[in-house]
Amino acid sequence: MTTASATCADAFLVFCQAMQRAELIQRISKSDKEFHFQNWVAARLDDAGLQHDSLGRNSYPDFTLVHHPEGYEVKGLQWPGREASYDSNSRVPTGLHNGRTIYYVFGRYPANMDDSEYPVVDLVLCHGDFLNADHNYVHKNKSFRGFGSYGDLLVRDRKMYVAPTPFALTSGTTGQATLIAPEGLIFDGRLEQVGELVRIETENMVVGYTFDLCANTLTPELALNPSAGKQHRFAAYRRKGMGSGTVSMKSVEQVEEQLLCDDE
């Protein structure tokens, strides 16, 4: 068993156990719209004995493990609500960052709750490569000065990325706790495999874009993807004896329809 596989399994199992025990998310104040679920995840990593650092509220990933080359990025989603995609501010999802394997923790919780405590409805712990397998792109904000009547306004190109969630990409994850990890990792008997998932690289890739300030149009620039058709294989797991049904990929058409609804 590799260290990485054992570690993500330990984290996943404490998430499952906390959901089973009805360990509630605790909101400190009504203005806390983001970090309540992050605090829940931090407490669970403590439960697992996984020492972790957090460099700040805007750091990436949200938590880095001290004794393992692994990090956890947390995404809380209201349910029902926007659940097919999430905003990634100036950060492209990835499964590798600064030499660390990155896992994403997607947790859904009830929307429009007046109480300060509420449960985790379902959860997916997902390897970052399931969202995007490119490890080479480096995000940078760029700017130029010279805009406006007097030529002294600064235009900042600060990109926002919107990525699909595992709930949009897969069937069988609703109401469950699911781990999605690269195929071939070896786990012990605490987990059972409930699905095989394949993501296929696209034919064309975006290599740039132009924005027409007069027409307010954004035009992507495409190039052939040298890895077009490459398959990235993953497996879905659940805690042994917990949950029901299998996990499978949704069709490209189903995903696009869900993302379109989120865009609107």
Cite the beta strand spans of 82-152 per DSSP E: 85-89, 96-97, 100-110, 117-118, 122-127, 142-147
Q: Please choose, from the candidates 20, 87, 79, the residue with its C-alpha nearest in 3D space to the C-alpha of residue 12.
A: 20
Provide the H-helix boundaries in 67-186: 166-169
pLDDT for the residue 2: 44
Say what the pTM is. 0.91
Sign of CA dihedral 18, 111, 259, 88: negative
Look up residue 38 and give its DSSP letter: H
Interstrand relation of 85-89 and 160-164 (parallel, antiparallel or unpaired): antiparallel
Measured in whole angstroms, the distance separating CA 119 from the mean position of its chain's CA atoms is: 20
Q: How would you write 40-98 as a 3-class SS string? A: HHHHHHHHCCCCEECCCCCCCCCEEECCCCEEEEEEEEEECCCCCEEEEECCCCCCEEC
What does the alpha-carbon distance between residue 127 and residue 131 come to, in Å, rounded to a whole number?
Answer: 8
Calculate the CA 91 to chain-centre distance: 11
Q: Where are the domains positioned within the chain? A: 3-199+231-263
CA distance 20 to 15: 9
Which 3 state secondary structure label does DSSP give 114?
A: coil
Contact 41, 47 (CB under 8 A): no
User: Sign (positive/negative) of CA torsion 235, 47, 81, 158?
Assistant: negative
Task: Tell me the CA distances in angstroms from 110 to 85, 124, 144, 259, one per residue in order.
Answer: 17, 16, 43, 21
Residue 7 three-state SS = helix
Q: Are strands 153-157 and 70-79 parallel, antiparallel or unpaired?
A: unpaired
Q: Are 245 and 154 in contact (CB under 8 A)?
A: no
Phi, psi for 11 (deg, rounded to 5)? -65, -45
The one-digit pLDDT tens for each residue of the chain (264 residues) are 344 557 899 999 999 999 999 989 888 766 666 678 999 999 999 999 999 987 666 788 999 999 999 999 999 998 888 888 998 887 899 999 999 999 999 999 988 767 788 899 999 999 999 999 999 988 888 999 999 998 999 999 888 899 999 999 999 999 999 999 999 888 888 899 999 999 999 999 999 999 999 999 999 999 999 999 999 999 999 999 887 789 999 988 888 888 887 766
CB 83 within 8 A of CB 108: yes
Side-chain half-sphere exposure of 111, counting CA atoms within 13 A: 7
pLDDT at residue 170, rounded to an integer: 96
